[in-house]
């Protein structure tokens, strides 16, 4: 199938009715856009269309208490037999973590703004339903260890957009969320990336002035720093894995946990949170330089390692640094915007990424269930929303208004000048 206009392609196969009608509001902003927008306005319209496509079926159903009813589950052929109900927490938690900064933007009268406002209201109702035991979409808080993993994305969204997603909630819902998160201390995280999930929950509790467990934060921070192998790369436990877990979990969560610890002046034995955060940001910047060089001239990137079906979540560090206005000088905003847009085109214009009802499928580029791991379900795939983080920057931001630039591989294979790459150790 020939790739179509970016927005037409990602919108293809949408659920009918209200979902399709809402999609049109976003798609209308990009009339005449090329297959990949080289200017910031087109790029933003395309990314907003993708965010809406990904979010609408999940939030509209969860706000109505019908997500479990209408979200048909798909699991990997090697599924390990755990309670499939965890898929709904994975779906909502991972999605909301990626779109939270976008939902937090001020309301405006643009088509994108109207769509965003509606999704924001659906998200708030979804949070309410997620912890209401009487609601059909009450999530699997009493479930297996996987619940700890995805609770961290659930709380990460609240850290990323507290005024938009936490403060408007009613008192009963807030107390229910706090109780559910604290109850997950029953799960002992293994000495791998899971330690950051436990730490993220405690960081969120700390951020709202609740009682928190400093040990679950401090041990995680120490272990991640012990596992740092140099030049921006972190091991996942005792062994080094050449995959994208530095992007999915390690760098972003470490930095955001340290944000809270520093902002709240939390204690850290024999260490200063502000220095640890500065170090973590530098390491994420260096790792992001590698990620940018992974992006080929057509936006494709190496299909390596575990959890490959998380698709564009592999570029969460670049997206997060752009959102935080912390891209290193070596990665200009116009260059990163163009590179990430090429990645989104390479992945999301392929057929098969979404079901006919508009939900994500298991796959890397399209529907490829055989690529799923033993823990993979279609709810897991919503971590791909992490690549949408720059939408949290307003349309007037320099990320969107700066001139597009070729990224490293485009320069290299065009015979143009591009910078050498040398190892850096922080």
Query: Residue 18: pLDDT band by 50, 70, 90 thresholds?
Result: very low
Mean pLDDT of the 128-153 span: 97
Q: Categorize the per-residue pLDDT at 25 as very low, low, confident or very high, splitting at 50, 70 and 90.
A: very low
pLDDT at residue number 11 = 63
Average pLDDT over residues 184-207: 97
Per-residue confidence (pLDDT) for residue 381, from 0 to 100: 98
Segment 65-86 shows an average pLDDT of 96
Task: Give the CA distances from residue 404 to residues 36, 139, 311, 340, in Å, rounded to whole numbers and listed in that order.
Answer: 12, 42, 24, 11
For 292-302, what is each residue's pLDDT tens digit? 999 999 999 99
* CATH label, 6-413, candidates 1.50.10, 1.10.10, 1.20.58, 3.40.190: 1.50.10
Domain spans, the chain: 6-413
pLDDT tens digits, one per residue of 325-380: 999 999 999 999 999 999 999 999 999 999 999 999 999 999 999 999 999 999 99
Please say whether the beta carbons of 293 and 409 come within 8 A.
yes
Q: What is the pTM of this model?
A: 0.93
Q: What is the pLDDT of residue 143?
A: 87
How do residues 204-242 score in pLDDT, each as one tens digit? 999 999 999 999 999 999 999 999 999 999 999 999 999
109 to 21, 24, 38, 116: CA distances (angstroms): 17, 15, 25, 10
pLDDT for position 47? 98
Q: What share of the chain is helix, strand, coil (3-state, %, to 5)?
A: 60, 0, 40
Q: What is the pLDDT of residue 241?
A: 95
The whole-number pLDDT of residue 425 equals 83
Tokens describing residue 151: 């609770």
Mean of pLDDT over the chain:
92
User: How many percent of the chain have pLDDT more than 90?
Assistant: 88
| pLDDT score for 38 | 64
pLDDT value of residue 7: 65
Q: What is the pLDDT of residue 14?
A: 46
Asked whether residue 23 carries a pLDDT value surpassing 50, the answer given is no
pLDDT at 32 over 70: no
pLDDT at residue 121 greater than cutoff 80: yes
């Amino acid at each position: 199938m020939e790739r179509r206009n970016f927005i037409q392609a990602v919108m293809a196969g949408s659920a009918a009715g209200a979902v399709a009608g809402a999609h049109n509001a976003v798609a209308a902003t990009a009339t005449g856009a090329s297959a990949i927008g080289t200017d910031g306005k087109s790029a933003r319209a395309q990314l907003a269309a993708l965010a809406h496509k990904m979010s609408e079926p999940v939030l509209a159903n969860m706000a109505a208490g019908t997500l479990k009813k209408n979200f048909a589950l798909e699991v990997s052929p090697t599924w390990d037999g755990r309670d499939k109900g965890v898929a709904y927490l994975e779906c909502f938690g991972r999605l909301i973590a990626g779109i939270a900064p976008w939902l937090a933007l001020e309301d405006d009268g643009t088509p994108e703004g109207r769509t965003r406002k509606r999704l924001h209201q659906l998200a708030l109702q979804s949070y309410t339903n997620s912890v209401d035991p009487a609601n059909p979409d009450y999530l699997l808080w009493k479930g297996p260890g996987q619940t700890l993993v995805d609770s961290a994305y659930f709380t990460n969204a609240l850290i990323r957009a507290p005024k938009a997603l936490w403060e408007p909630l009613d008192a009963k819902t807030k107390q229910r969320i706090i109780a559910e998160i604290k109850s997950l201390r029953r799960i002992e995280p293994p000495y791998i990336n899971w330690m950051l999930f436990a730490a993220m929950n405690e960081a969120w509790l700390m951020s709202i002035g609740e009682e928190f467990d400093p040990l679950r934060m401090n041990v995680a921070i120490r272990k991640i720093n012990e596992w740092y192998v140099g030049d921006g790369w972190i091991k996942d436990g005792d062994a080094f894995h050449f995959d994208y877990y530095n992007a999915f979990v390690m760098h972003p969560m470490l930095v955001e946990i340290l944000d809270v610890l520093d902002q709240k002046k939390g204690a850290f034995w024999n260490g200063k949170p502000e220095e640890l955060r500065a170090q973590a940001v530098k390491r994420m910047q260096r790792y992001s330089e590698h990620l940018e060089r992974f992006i080929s001239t057509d936006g494709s990137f190496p299909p390596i390692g575990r959890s490959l079906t998380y698709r564009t979540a592999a570029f969460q560090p670049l997206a997060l640094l752009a959102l935080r206005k912390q891209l290193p000088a070596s990665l200009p905003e116009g260059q990163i915007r163009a590179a990430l847009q090429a990645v989104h085109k390479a992945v999301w214009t392929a057929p098969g990424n979404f079901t006919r009802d508009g939900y994500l499928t298991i796959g890397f580029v399209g529907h490829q269930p055989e690529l799923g791991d033993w823990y993979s379900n279609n709810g897991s795939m919503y971590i791909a929303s992490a690549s949408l983080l720059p939408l949290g920057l307003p349309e007037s931001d320099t990320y969107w208004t700066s001139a597009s630039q070729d990224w490293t591989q485009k320069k290299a294979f065009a015979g143009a000048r591009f910078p050498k790459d040398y190892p850096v150790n922080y």
